[in-house]
């Protein structure tokens, strides 16, 4: 057995979202996107290639996956084997420190960590651009989790041109994201299924692509200027317009639940009271509230009163991929 390699990658929350693929095989998105990597949610993955194995052996959160459950990981490892000319199977052990498939980008951290650990265990020495391209093949948002801080994913048009680049990796802006866990369970409509349904059936999808272009043009200079209001207003409107695509698709669907709507109203009430904060959410009911560090205590207390202290987690900007060996 070759030496094992362990990598840690953090989740990210998209502030300007991608919702739909132009190429589903290569996971080339319809639009570019921009995210913030978070320090509190991450995946640690260890990979070792072993000539004694007769198939890939995958364990996630201390549970061995069946061949069917591990099919995405197996297909991803095939990409690594192709790039490295390695033929042996791999032993993969992964632990998610984030609720899986609940709209908190667990697939982003999972496939970013897998890309780093598997490629290095296979003897590849990939720079971060190449790692970003590889991670994208497992999960689109994983392409951004290779980097820390604010990260832009250039949509590109093929495998070589679609990858993420950091906008600001070391964030010295005193901001935070308060994650509100309203439902930690698997969502009923997967991101992949949902976004392609929106692409194929929402009459508003062409307008969405222009909205993303406009939002990126607004948010990037605002981040560089630490313009909190513009960043917040842009990320909140972008999230709501993305979710409008789910409601306008056929058949229509929604990732919201009753608590989601209640929490949105709480954020608006806080703003009315002079506590400036803004919400976003991806494919799941859980809100992420963008705020300034000085307001974290007030926001956390209000949300804890409504939803329970255990369901409120404060995160700061997080780092890019790390190798722990």
DSSP labels for 138-178? Answer: T-GGGGTTTS-SEEEEE--SSTTT-EEEEEESS--S-EEEE
Same domain as 223, residue 79: no
Same domain as 133, residue 20: yes
Nearest to 175 by CA among 288, 322, 96, 274: 288
pLDDT at 106: 82
pLDDT at 180: 94
CATH number of residue 118's parent domain: 3.30.230.10
pLDDT at 102: 47
| Within-domain flag for 320 | no
Same domain as 12, residue 134: yes
pLDDT at 103: 52
Q: How far apart are CA 94 and CA 65, in angstroms?
A: 11
Q: Which domain holds residue 61?
A: 5-170
The domain tally of the chain equals 2
Among 170, 192, 207, which residue terminates a domain?
170
pLDDT at 207: 96
b/e string for 59-85 if b means 16 or more Cβ within 10 A? ebeeeebeeeebebbbebbeebbebee
Among 147, 170, 193, which residue terminates a domain?
170
Please give, one letter per residue, the 3-state secondary structure of 62-120: CEECCCCCCHHHHHHHHHHHHHHCCCCEEEEEEEEECCCCCCCCHHHHHHHHHHHHHHH
| Within-domain flag for 325 | no
pLDDT at 284: 87
| Within-domain flag for 323 | no
pLDDT at 192: 83
- Could you tell me whether strands 150-154 and 63-64 are parallel, antiparallel, or unpaired per DSSP bridges? unpaired
Decide: 175 and 46 in contact? Cβ < 8 Å: no
Same domain as 83, residue 45: yes
Decide: 118 and 131 in contact? Cβ < 8 Å: no
Same domain as 166, residue 229: no
pLDDT per 10-residue tile (average), the chain, 325 residues: 91 95 96 96 96 96 93 97 96 85 72 98 97 97 98 97 97 96 78 89 96 98 98 98 96 94 98 98 92 98 95 95 92
Task: Compute φ and ψ for 282, nearest 5 degrees.
Answer: -100, -140
b/e string for 208-240 if b means 16 or more Cβ within 10 A? beebbeebbebbbebbeeeebeebbbbbbebbe
Decide: 56 and 109 in contact? Cβ < 8 Å: no
| Within-domain flag for 29 | yes
| Within-domain flag for 231 | yes
Among 121, 154, 170, which residue terminates a domain?
170
Kindly report the pTM of this predicted structure: 0.94
Decide: 46 and 5 in contact? Cβ < 8 Å: yes
pLDDT at 100: 56
- Could you tell me whether strands 163-168 and 150-154 are parallel, antiparallel, or unpaired per DSSP bridges? antiparallel
């Amino acid at each position: 057995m070759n030496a094992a390699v362990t990598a840690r990658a953090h989740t990210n929350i998209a502030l300007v979202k991608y919702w739909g693929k132009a190429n589903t095989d290569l996971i080339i998105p319809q639009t570019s996107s921009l995210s913030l990597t978070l320090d509190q949610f991450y995946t640690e993955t260890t990979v070792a290639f072993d000539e004694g194995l007769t198939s890939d052996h995958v364990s996630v959160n201390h549970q061995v996956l069946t061949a069917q459950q591990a099919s995405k990981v197996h297909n991803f490892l095939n990409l690594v084997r192709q790039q490295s000319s390695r033929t042996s199977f791999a032993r993969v052990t992964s632990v998610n420190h984030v609720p899986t498939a609940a709209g908190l980008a667990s697939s982003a951290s999972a496939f970013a960590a897998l890309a780093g650990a598997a490629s290095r265990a296979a003897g590849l020495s990939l720079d971060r651009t190449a790692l970003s391209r590889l991670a994208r093949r497992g999960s689109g948002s994983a392409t951004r989790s290779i980097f820390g801080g604010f990260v832009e994913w250039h949509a590109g048009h093929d495998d070589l041109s679609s990858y993420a680049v950091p906008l600001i990796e070391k964030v010295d802006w005193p901001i935070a994201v308060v994650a509100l866990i309203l439902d930690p369970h698997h969502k009923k409509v997967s991101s992949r299924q949902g976004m392609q349904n929106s692409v194929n059936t929402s009459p508003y999808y062409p307008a969405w692509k222009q909205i993303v272009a406009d939002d990126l043009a607004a948010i990037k200079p605002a981040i560089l200027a630490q313009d909190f209001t513009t960043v917040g207003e842009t990320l909140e409107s972008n999230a709501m317009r993305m979710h409008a695509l789910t409601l306008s698709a056929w058949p229509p669907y929604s990732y919201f639940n009753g608590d989601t709507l209640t929490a949105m109203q709480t954020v608006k009430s806080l703003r009315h009271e002079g506590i400036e904060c803004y919400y976003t959410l991806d494919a799941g009911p859980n809100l992420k509230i963008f705020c300034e560090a000085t307001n974290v205590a007030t926001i956390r207390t209000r949300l804890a009163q409504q939803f329970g202290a255990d369901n409120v987690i404060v995160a700061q900007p997080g780092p890019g991929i790390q190798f722990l060996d």
